[in-house]
Structure 1
Amino acid sequence: MKHFLMAAAAALLLSTAAQAKDFNIPSEKPVASITMPEGWTANETDSGLEGTSADSAVYFAVDISEAAALDKTIQESVKFLEEQGVKIDEKTEKQKQDKLNGKDAVFVSWAGTDKDGPATIGLALVLLDEKNALVLTYWGTKGEEDKHGAEINSIVTSIKSAK
Structure 2
Amino acid sequence: MREPNRVLQGGILKFMKSTAAAVLMVGLLTNFAIAKSFELPESKPIVTITLPDAWEPEEIAKGVQANSPDTGIYVAFEIGNVKNTDKVVLDGVKFLAESGVKIDPASEKRGEGKINGIDMIDINWTGDYDGKVAKVSLTIAVLSPTKIGLLTYWGSPSAEKKYAAQLDSILKSIQPLGQ
**Pairing of 1:22-33 with structure 2 (within 5 A):** 22-33=37-48
| Identical-pair percentage | 36
**Pairing of 1:3-152 with structure 2 (within 5 A):** 19-152=34-167
Q: Which structure has the larger Rg?
A: 2
Shift of 1:116: 4.9
Greater strand content: 1
Does the CA-based 8 Å contact 1:95-1:109 persist in structure 2?
A: yes
Deviations 1:7-48 (A, max 9, x none): xxxxxxxx79x6111111123321211111141111101100
What secondary structure is seen at the aligned counterpart in 1 of 2:105?
strand
Q: What code does the residue aligned with 1:19 have?
A: I
Count residues with an aligned counterpart.
149
Shift of 1:159: 0.7
Shift of 1:56: 0.4
What's the counterpart of residue 6 of structure 1?
A: none
What's the counterpart of residue 20 of structure 2?
A: none
Cα RMSD, aligned residues only: 1.8
> TM-score with structure 2 length normalisation?
0.79
The answer for unaligned runs of 5 or more in structure 2 is 1-29
Question: Take 1:51 and 1:27, find their aligned partners in 2: how far apart are those partners?
Answer: 17
Question: Take 2:93 and 2:162, find their aligned partners in 1: how far apart are those partners?
Answer: 25
Q: What code does the residue aligned with 2:139 have?
A: A
Question: Take 1:107 and 1:100, find their aligned partners in 2: how far apart are those partners?
Answer: 12
The answer for unaligned runs of 5 or more in structure 1 is 1-14
